[in-house]
């Protein structure tokens, strides 16, 4: 599905030139090396920022070693590591990565998990669409998208969350909870990132909604989502509850705005 409710995208000549992949980590020591190797193999020109929340398993220190070895091999620094003081949540990790990218002049910023569920080989197809969209979503729930080894209850939870976001907010994105996506930096620079306080599922819905409300175009590209092979999912009851509460509030606010707009039109007519 393609969401394009607010007119044309800002002009961008061709695919993005400088790309930063923001990869939050918390106890991803086993999966991170493979994720970084896959990115180098499939998108060698992209830089990577590992945002580590002081992982107890030493993920941050491992990322530093991989970055140093990669820089020596390539004769340039392509992998960077941002260390944070503790587990502060997915949303704040991405916002920190967005700010880091904007300060350094990247053209496009990628959200990508470090656990292998987002395949690096799918990323070039997402980047190809940056020329005609402010936000490109790697979607599991459009034609051609699929999931591999994902438990049925997680599939139902994901589909249910997306359906609820559509019903409550009118959000025209089939996979608004997807965490594999590409933003134009200019779009991120126009958003009020200081106001983003959501996490998990809710963070992804929040950001897609902000892009659309700012007049941006969102397109969805089918991907194959693979259940993580190592470690444990970060999904929790609190993340689900946060999404339910926030989406309900946002939906109510949107309906109130629509009623006010309708009332103004009636008075003018």
**Residue 241 pLDDT more than 90?**
no
Terminal CA-CA length for the chain = 35
Provide the CATH number for the domain around residue 133: 3.90.550.10
Q: What are the pLDDT digits (tens) for 170-209?
A: 999 999 999 999 999 999 999 999 999 887 678 999 999 9
Q: What are the pLDDT digits (tens) for 79-135?
A: 999 999 999 989 999 999 999 999 999 999 999 999 999 999 999 999 999 999 999
Question: Residue 209: which domain range?
Answer: 2-268
Identify the band that residue 251 occupies on the pLDDT scale cut at 50, 70 and 90.
confident
Q: What pLDDT sits at residue 258?
A: 74
**Residue 138 pLDDT more than 50?**
yes
Number of domains in the chain: 1
Identify the band that residue 243 occupies on the pLDDT scale cut at 50, 70 and 90.
confident
Identify the band that residue 235 occupies on the pLDDT scale cut at 50, 70 and 90.
low
Q: What pLDDT sits at residue 94?
A: 97
Contacts of 266 (CB under 8 A, 6+ apart): none
How far is it, in rounded angstroms, from Cα 180 to Cα 177?
9
**Residue 211 pLDDT more than 60?**
yes
Per DSSP, the residues of 148-212 read: ES--HHHHHHHHHHHHHHHHHH----TTTT---EEEEHHHHHHS-GGG----HHHHHHHHHHHHH
Q: Is residue 7 left, alpha or beta, with left meaning phi > 0 and alpha meaning psi from -120 to 50?
A: left
């Amino acid at each position: 599905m393609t969401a394009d409710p607010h007119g044309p995208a800002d002009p961008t000549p061709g695919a993005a030139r400088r790309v930063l992949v923001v990869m939050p980590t918390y106890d991803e020591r086993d999966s991170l090396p493979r994720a970084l190797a896959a990115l180098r193999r499939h998108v060698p020109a992209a830089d990577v920022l590992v945002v580590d929340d002081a992982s107890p398993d030493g993920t941050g220190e491992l990322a530093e070693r991989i970055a140093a070895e990669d820089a020596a091999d390539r004769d340039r620094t392509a992998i960077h590591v941002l260390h944070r003081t503790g587990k502060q949540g997915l949303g704040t990790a991405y916002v920190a990565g967005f700010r880091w990218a904007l300060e350094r002049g990247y053209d496009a910023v990628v959200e990508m998990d470090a656990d292998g569920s987002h395949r690096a080989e799918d990323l070039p197809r997402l980047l190809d669409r940056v020329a005609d969209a402010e936000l490109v979503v790697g979607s599991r729930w459009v034609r051609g998208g699929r999931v591999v080894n994902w438990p049925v209850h997680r599939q139902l939870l994901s589909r249910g969350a997306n359906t609820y976001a559509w019903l409550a907010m009118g959000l025209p994105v089939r996979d608004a909870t997807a965490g594999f996506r590409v933003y134009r930096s200019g779009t991120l620079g126009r958003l009020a990132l200081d106001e983003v306080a959501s996490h998990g599922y809710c963070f992804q819905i929040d950001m897609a909604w902000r892009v659309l409300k700012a007049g941006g175009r969102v397109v969805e590209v089918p991907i194959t989502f693979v259940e993580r092979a190592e470690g444990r999912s970060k999904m929790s009851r609190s993340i689900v509850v946060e999404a339910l509460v926030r989406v309900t509030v946002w939906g109510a606010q949107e309906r109130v705005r629509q009623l006010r707009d309708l009332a103004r039109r009636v008075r003018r007519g």
